[in-house]
Amino acid sequence: MKPSFVVVVDDDESVRESVPDLLREFGFAAQAFESAEAFLASDCIGEVDCLILDIFMPGLNGPDLQQHLIAQGHHIPIVFITAKADEVTRTGVVDAAAGLLAKPFSETALQQAIDAALHPQ
């Protein structure tokens, strides 16, 4: 059985370097993109099992990417991540998401959020 493919989209280089390594340690296949536009330009959208998606990015932000994917018929479970959780809570942008993690988040919280996204109750 092939591992679930988890993609990280975040403009923060440290997240793009560390989170995919952690995902691989968890047993997932992983890839990172620096922007929503770079992800959309890739050829892997149809293969993604879960997105780890930053909310606040230059250009197309996380919620905009989510809406674009849904409009294109791609219903990929999304775990949003953000350093500005208070703003997110007020706006309610993650209602359709599988989860929300505030940076910095623990390894355990990340693994639990992905597991919940991949295996909804």
Instruction: Summarize pLDDT for 102-119 with one digit per residue, the tens.
Output: 899 999 999 999 999 999
**pTM of full prediction above 0.95:** no
DSSP 29-47: EEEEESSHHHHHHSS-GGG
pLDDT value of position 94: 61
Give the chain's domain count: 1
**Which residue segment(s) compose the domain that 19 sits in?**
5-118
Question: pLDDT digit string (tens) for 57-114?
Answer: 999 999 899 989 999 999 999 999 988 876 655 456 666 678 888 899 999 999 999 9
Q: Are 52 and 4 in contact (CB under 8 A)?
A: no
pLDDT at 73: 95
Give yes or no for residue 26 having a pLDDT over 90.
yes
CATH of the domain at 58: 3.40.50.2300
